């Protein structure tokens, strides 16, 4: 771990471009740990596991209280982040185990409905996690998606809704939800990879 972990986390909690760059740097730094958990989540697709763990990591970094005496040192802060990611992995593992009898996304077929409802229709049907609403880094990530794709990612990875429930909320077919989610995950993965390469080249 970097000797400047506390400084980097503090920067990542900012809401400007410096904060976004610091968050992407931390994502790259802790990617080996996330890859370990992605491999262990064998009941979840690699794309789903990576996206969910990434969102959990962003939430951990944004919410950690660096004013606590126990987190003033890099080794203790690193331990806190690692433990928090382990807890996130346990949570995802349990959720995946409960849904192991669900039909795989690859079994769904059907065209995607790109039109959806009027602006603001999703917000009237569900509430978002406040910590994520204020997370400019997350919104920057979701900014590469269409509104429909971003809504589905929020529903699935933040609110924890399954495909069937999301389909009911959005008034579309389950196959449309699955198709949009796959496309969104591909976009997010490509975006994070591109940003990671850009940081390494600077």
**Average pLDDT for the chain:** 73
Express each pLDDT in 130-166 by its tens digit: 333 334 456 667 778 888 888 888 788 766 788 888 9
Do residues 34 and 57 touch, judged by C-beta distance below 8 A?
yes
Is 191 or 118 the better-scoring residue by pLDDT? 191
| Residue tagged 């993965």 (tokens) | 189
Question: Distance between CA 135 and CA 55 in Å, rounded?
Answer: 10
Q: What pTM did the predictor assign?
A: 0.53
Provide DSSP, the chain.
--TTHHHHHHHHTSSSHHHHHHHHHHHHHTHHHHHHHHHH-TTS-HHHHHHHHHHHHHHHHHH--TTSGGGSSHHHHHHHHHHHHHHHHHHHHHHHHHTTTSPPGGG---------S-TTTTTTT----HHHHT-HHHHHHHTTS-HHHHHHHIIIIIS---HHHHHHHHTS-HHHHHHHHHHHHHHHHHHHHHHHHHHHT-
pLDDT surpassing 90 at residue 176: yes
Express each pLDDT in 97-140 by its tens digit: 555 433 333 333 333 333 334 333 333 333 333 333 334 456 66
Q: Which tokens sit at 51?
A: 């996206």
Could you tell me the end-to-end alpha-carbon distance of the chain, in angstroms, rounded to an integer?
A: 20
C-alpha angle with apex 101: 190 to 160, nearest 5 degrees? 50
């Amino acid at each position: 771990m970097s000797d400047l972990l506390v400084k980097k986390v503090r920067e990542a909690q900012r809401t400007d471009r410096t904060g976004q760059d610091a968050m992407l740097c931390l994502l790259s730094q802790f990617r080996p740990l996330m890859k370990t958990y992605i491999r262990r989540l064998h009941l979840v697709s690699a794309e789903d596991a990576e996206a969910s763990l990434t969102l959990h990591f962003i939430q951990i970094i944004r919410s950690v209280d660096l004013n606590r005496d126990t987190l003033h040192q890099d080794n203790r802060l690193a331990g806190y982040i690692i433990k928090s990611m382990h807890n996130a992995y346990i949570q995802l593992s349990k959720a995946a185990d409960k849904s192991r009898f669900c039909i795989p996304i690859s079994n769904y077929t059907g065209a995607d409905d790109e039109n959806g409802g009027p602006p603001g229709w999703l917000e009237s049907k569900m509430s978002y996690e406040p910590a994520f609403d204020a997370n400019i880094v997350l919104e920057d990530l979701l900014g590469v998606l269409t509104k429909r794709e971003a809504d589905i990612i929020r529903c699935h990875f933040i609110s924890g809704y399954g495909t069937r429930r999301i389909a009911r909320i959005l008034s579309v077919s389950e196959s449309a939800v699955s198709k949009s989610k796959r496309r969104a995950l591909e976009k997010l993965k490509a975006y994070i990879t591109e940003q990671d390469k850009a940081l390494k080249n600077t």
